Every structure is written in C-alpha cells, then in structure tokens.
Chains A and B, each alone.
Chain A
Amino acid sequence: MRALTWHGTHDVRVETMPDPGIVNPRDAVIEVTSTAICGSDLHLYDGVIPGMMAGDILGHEFMGRVVEVGRKSTLKVGQRVVVPFTISCGSCYFCERQQYSACDNSNPVAKQDLTEPLYGHAMSGLFGYSHLTGGYPGGQAEYVRVPFSDVGPIVIEDDALEDERVLFLSDILPTGWMAAENADIAEGDIVAVWGCGPVGLFAVQSALLMGAGRVIAIDHYPHRLELARGLGAEVIDFEQTAVLEALMEMTGGIGPDAVIDAVGTEAHGFSIDNFLDTVKQHTLGGADSGHALREAILACRKGGRISVPGVYGGFLDKFPLGALMEKGLQLRTGQTHVQRYSRDLLRRIGAGEIDTTFLISHRLPLEAAPTGYRNFHDRQNEWTKVVLKPGQSGEMPRRSAGPDR
C-alpha cells in the first residue's frame, strides 16, 4: 500500500509499505477513503515530539470502508466507519468510565516504559503519533489496522453523509467539543479561545452551542480570524492588539469566565517568554513553549476555568502557578475521550446543527501529502485544513474552493 511516512524534521514521504492484516481477534482493517493532516501532526513535522522513528506512518484522522475483520470484531465488511484517533479497549477501569483516552490496555507493554518515567503513568495508544503512544501505523495510508474495532469506530449508516461532513469526528470535532465542555460553560458566559486552528474554531462553535454569551477568538492569521468571526466570535489579532488589555476592556475588567488554550506547545508570538521557550525547545528538547497558556491564565477571571485541548508533551518554565492558586482557577485538560462524543456529535451533524466542512481549504491525493504538509505548515493563513484522498491519482494538487488566492 501507499503511505505517508516520517523521516525527520520537515521530511515526510509517500512510500510503498506492506499492507496490514488482522493480528488480534478484535481487529479490523480499513480501506481509507479520506484522511486529514492535523495541526498536531505539525508538531511531529517540526520534530518537537520525541519517540519518532524513520518510516513511521503518520495520520490519526481517517475514515473508510471495512475490508477485513477479526473474529471478535463487531464490524462488517463493507461498512463505512470513522475511526477515533484514541485507541481504547473498552473494558479497563478508565474505558468503563468513558475516559477512553486514558485506556490502560492500548499502548503495547514495552512502549509503556517510554512515558511512564516522564508522566508517572504510561500514555494510551494513539494512531500515528510516535512510539510514546504505541507506535501504531497511522491513517495517512491506503489501509489501516484498527485494534479494538468493536469499541472505537463509529458506523456511518447514512450514505448521504459525505466523508467530509463526518471525517472530523475522528479527532478535531470532539476535541473542540470537549474543550468547551471542560470550560464548564454557563448560559451567558464570556469565553476566550486562543488559537483559531481547527480545534480552536470547533471550540468556538461548541461554546456557542453550549450557551456562551460571547466568544472571543485570538489568532494572527486574518483568514482564520475571519472563519472564527463567521461562526459568531469576536476576534483579536494578537499582532495588532495587546491581548490582555483588550480582554480586560471587553469584559469590563473582570476577564473571561473561561479560557481555552487551543494552541499547545508551539505558540507563536513576540514575547520574551516565547523566545526563551523556542530556544530551549530547539536545543534541549522536551521543553514546551507556553505563551498562550500563560496569557490565558493571566486573563481568566477569578474563580474561572481553564481548558487546555492544546498538546503539551514535556515541561513548561515560568508557569504562573501563583495566578492559578491565588485566583482560585480550575484547570482541565487531556487527550480527547473521542468515543464518548461520537454518537451525539454524529446526530448533531445529521440534524444540521454542526457543519465542519467550512474548515477544509484543500483536497489532495495521498501522493501529494508532502506538499500538503509543507503548505499547511508554511501558509497557515490559507491552508486551514487538508484532506487527503488515498487511491486518487495525480501529482498536481487540485486547487479547491478554499480561500487560496
């Protein structure tokens, strides 16, 4: 099969790899029909996540058609499914409590040793996201072996729902939704969202659906801010405006009731803390850059909530723990418990409450995935989301109806 493989910083290639097969009884093999490049794939592309090996297949947002099932899979050959990026067994203590991304049993035992010393407990298995999370071959490929296929994949019965309307159930839509849920939004709350990438935009959308009175979105890419405005947010361009001052003005000095950091470990910006973080990140490794999170904590009103869907992997300096404590803030975070939200979000998509297609700027054949990575990385203003189509021929990226000019 053809698959997108990682070979080093800013070096990804489409190569021929062996087809996967059924290994365990609960497995299924999926023929991928659509797969996306995620913002968190860019952390791998930038080489800031440890535990990658040359030849690893990337991709954790994918859907497709079931082509093979193990004898304990509940899927049937031919079914259309969206596969959550979190691999979850469904029967451990955590899965039973719907904390699927904390599954005890999905990260292979030997790989658990990689994160246990760092975090105190091992991470769970994820598709295509380094050996820290199991080293599972990812979904930017023609075929994927899906473990615990009786728990993860959600079947799309309605053929009228095109791939692009449901693909993001795999990660970014439930991630944006859980980000808003973690912000514990009450009717009329003011919610500020740092980062208008896909997760930030879906968090904006979700916060409004959950009753937020005002949502303020912060970014520096004009097109992304425009998308946020289109969803109903007020926007702040941090290159033009002092964010803290603006938020205080806009909230009458109170600060937002809840803040969401949808940026994660590679924050942009021109502050001194960010500069020092970036230097450390590229020299020492394992250091997180956390300008967005620091600013969000300072902005948050007393007794407010901080939700962190952005990805962090290591250690953060100058973390304003004093502000967290003295203002009595609550902080909630975590990888998304995708399976918890799949059914409800699919229903909302079907009912027309949530549309995710506005995000997609580019559609490319899998063969052009390296071009997709380069542009998604270098031209974030126009390249908001790239969907890859395995099995489609053509070397030239197809120009789509996006904002590309």
Chain B
Amino acid sequence: MERSRRAAAQPRAAATAGVALALGTAALILGTALVGTRRQSQLARVRSDPDGAPPAARRAVAGDRVLTGNAVRINRPRQELYAFWRDVANLPRFMENVREVRPLGDGRSEWTIAAPMGASVTLRTEVTEERAGELIAWRTLEGSDVAAEGRVSFRDAPGGRGSIVAATIAYEPPGGELGRWIAKLFGREPQVQGRRELRRFKMLMETGEIATAENHKDESRPAESPDESHADETHRDESRDEPRKADTP
C-alpha cells in the first residue's frame, strides 16, 4: 500500500519538476494574473511595504505565492540594456532553457522552453506595463501551465557606475512547497535560475560573450551574438593538425 502510493507519486514529482524548470527559466519573463485574479497582484501588494529594501529580500512571504527577486549591476548604460532586453528574440541568448521567443505583436510573445527529458513547454505572455529605458512587466496569458507575473527594471547605478537591473517574479509554485523543494534539488529553483540568468545577461552585455570552461562549443545552444554564424572564420594554424615532431613516446 505504502509502496504503491510512492510509485504513484513519482511521475507527478517529475512533472512538477518539469513545470518548475520551465518556470525557473521563464522566471524573469513571465507574469500571470493568477487566473481570474482571485487576489490582488502580489507585486503590487509587496511594493507598498514600509522598509526600503527590495521586496524579494523579505524573510518570508505569506500565502501560497512565492516572490523571488534578483538585482545585478552591469557596467553599461541602462538604455542599451533596456533596448536589448526589449527585443525578446535576444532573450534565448542568455536564458539557459529558453529555446525561442516568438513575438506575436501587441506585446504578446510565445515562449518555447526546454523541460527535462526532451520535453518542452510553451507559454504565452503579454506585456502589462512598459516605460522606455526603465521598466518592462509581463504576465502569462490565461491557460498557461504556469501562473506568474514579473517585472524587470533598469536604473542608473549611483556614481556613474553603470546600471542596476532588477527582476522580480511572483509565482504560484507548481506542486506547492513540495514542488519548490523538488525543483531546488534539480537546481532549477526560480531564485537560483533567475540569478544565473541575470548574471549571464551581465556577461553578455559587458563582454559580448558568456563565460564557459568548456573546451568545445555546445551546438545545441543558440548563438550568443547575432553575427555568430560567421564565427567559423577563426584563424587556425594548419600545421597544428599534423602530429608534433617529438610526440608521445
């Protein structure tokens, strides 16, 4: 009896992890008006909190929605960062599991996100608020697997030290706390995923590429820069292909 219950729980756990993964990746992007707006927007609610700290730094969030946030300082002007982010086709270049973002017009887009075991999840989002050079906010459209809302803000760092880009997401963890815990085991907890994606964004904006210790290209990833298709014009010393004179004993 105990065993059969555990067996039944397994596929559900995997599915939960899959959705959480998708969510994590999409974390910076989405938003959902939790279907039918049963309550007030989580973001709107926490933004009215009394202290000056970012809402996501609060120790706990009551209720069943989780709020997560990250900020990163980037050594580039905010207009440039905003413009890059606003072109949603750029996003797969630094969002690990996002395979494609297709603009549908009117601020709506369709996201294809890789999930474990070769599966993929499709989400539709719409922009709910936008201020040029400052802010982009989204939510998922009704009928999406994942219910969440998010915003990314761009502001000047003090002292002329670039910009601070902050992303905040409120979401309903798939599978509740258990789902969140499972996703954490997979390293796909939205807080972690969100932080990593902002840092990849920073790398791409500051250096033009995303650091990797791999010695070979991952061909399954989209190119990081638009003209990457010409990357094979690397210059090579052909003599390298011949065996070294005093090679291995």
Residues of A within 8 A of B (CB): 2, 16, 18-26, 31, 66-72, 76-78, 87, 89-93, 96, 104-113, 125, 134-137, 142, 145, 147-148, 367, 391-395
CA distance A21 to B215 in the complex (A): 6
Do B216 and A2 touch across chains, with their CB atoms under 8 A apart? no
Other-chain residue from A23, A89, A107, A113 in contact with B214 (beta carbon distance below 8 A): A23
Complex A-B: 14 CB contacts under 8 Å: A2-B248, A24-B211, A24-B224, A25-B231, A66-B237, A67-B236, A68-B234, A68-B240, A69-B234, A77-B236, A87-B211, A96-B75, A104-B202, A105-B206
> Contacts of B208 on A, CB cut-off 8 Å?
25-26, 72
A68 with B73, Cβ < 8 A, contacts A24-B212, A26-B207, A109-B196 known? no
Main secondary structure of the interface of B (DSSP, over half): loop
> Contacts of B245 on A, CB cut-off 8 Å?
391
Residues of B within 8 A of A (CB): 73, 75, 161-162, 187, 192, 196, 199-200, 202-203, 206-217, 224-225, 228, 230-231, 233-237, 240, 244-249
Other-chain residue from B162, B207, B213, B235 in contact with A68 (beta carbon distance below 8 A): B235
Do A93 and B230 touch across chains, with their CB atoms under 8 A apart? no
Do B234 and A24 touch across chains, with their CB atoms under 8 A apart? no
> Contacts of B247 on A, CB cut-off 8 Å?
391, 393
CA distance A91 to B76 in the complex (A): 10
Q: Which of A2, A18, A105 has the most CB of B within 10 A?
A: A105
> Contacts of A106 on B, CB cut-off 8 Å?
211
> Contacts of A87 on B, CB cut-off 8 Å?
211
> Contacts of A25 on B, CB cut-off 8 Å?
208-209, 225, 228, 231
Do B192 and A137 touch across chains, with their CB atoms under 8 A apart? no
> Contacts of A93 on B, CB cut-off 8 Å?
73, 75, 161-162
A-B residue pairs, 6 tightest by C-beta:
A20-B215, A24-B209, A67-B237, A89-B207, A135-B213, A136-B213
CA distance A113 to B192 in the complex (A): 9
> Contacts of B244 on A, CB cut-off 8 Å?
142, 391
CA distance A156 to B15 in the complex (A): 57
Quote the shortest CB–CB distance from B205 to chain A (angstroms). 9
Q: A68-B240, A108-B213, A113-B192 are in contact. List 13 more A-B contacts (CB 8 A).
A: A23-B216, A26-B209, A71-B234, A72-B208, A78-B237, A91-B75, A105-B203, A106-B211, A113-B196, A145-B215, A148-B207, A392-B246, A393-B247
Do A137 and B206 touch across chains, with their CB atoms under 8 A apart? no
Do B211 and A71 touch across chains, with their CB atoms under 8 A apart? no
Other-chain residue from A2, A22, A76, A107 in contact with B211 (beta carbon distance below 8 A): A107
> Contacts of B231 on A, CB cut-off 8 Å?
22, 25, 70-71
Do A70 and B234 touch across chains, with their CB atoms under 8 A apart? yes
Other-chain residue from A24, A26, A109, A393 in contact with B249 (beta carbon distance below 8 A): A393
Do A92 and B237 touch across chains, with their CB atoms under 8 A apart? no
> Contacts of B200 on A, CB cut-off 8 Å?
109
CA distance A241 to B75 in the complex (A): 53
Instruction: Please give me the residue from chain A that is nearest to B196 by CB atom.
Output: A109
> Contacts of A24 on B, CB cut-off 8 Å?
209-212, 224
A77 with B206, Cβ < 8 A, contacts A23-B215, A23-B217, A31-B240 known? no
Instruction: Please give me the residue from chain A that is nearest to B197 by CB atom.
Output: A109
Quote the shortest CB–CB distance from A400 to chain B (angstroms). 18
CA distance A45 to B87 in the complex (A): 48
Do B234 and A22 touch across chains, with their CB atoms under 8 A apart? yes
> Contacts of B209 on A, CB cut-off 8 Å?
24-26
Do A111 and B213 touch across chains, with their CB atoms under 8 A apart? yes
Instruction: Please give me the residue from chain B that is nearest to A87 by CB atom.
Output: B211
CA distance A68 to B183 in the complex (A): 41
Do B240 and A134 touch across chains, with their CB atoms under 8 A apart? no
CA distance A67 to B242 in the complex (A): 12
Instruction: Please give me the residue from chain B that is nearest to A91 by CB atom.
Output: B206
CA distance A391 to B245 in the complex (A): 8
Other-chain residue from A16, A21, A104, A367 in contact with B206 (beta carbon distance below 8 A): A104
Quote the shortest CB–CB distance from B92 to chain A (angstroms). 15
CA distance A113 to B212 in the complex (A): 14
Quote the shortest CB–CB distance from B179 to chain A (angstroms). 21
> Contacts of A78 on B, CB cut-off 8 Å?
237
CA distance A24 to B225 in the complex (A): 10
Do B234 and A134 touch across chains, with their CB atoms under 8 A apart? no
Do A105 and B230 touch across chains, with their CB atoms under 8 A apart? no
Do A134 and B213 touch across chains, with their CB atoms under 8 A apart? yes
Quote the shortest CB–CB distance from A297 to chain B (angstroms). 34
Do A109 and B213 touch across chains, with their CB atoms under 8 A apart? no
CA distance A22 to B196 in the complex (A): 24
CA distance A89 to B210 in the complex (A): 10
CA distance A23 to B209 in the complex (A): 10
> Contacts of B162 on A, CB cut-off 8 Å?
93
Instruction: Please give me the residue from chain B that is nearest to A106 by CB atom.
Output: B211
Do B215 and A105 touch across chains, with their CB atoms under 8 A apart? no
Quote the shortest CB–CB distance from B176 to chain A (angstroms). 25
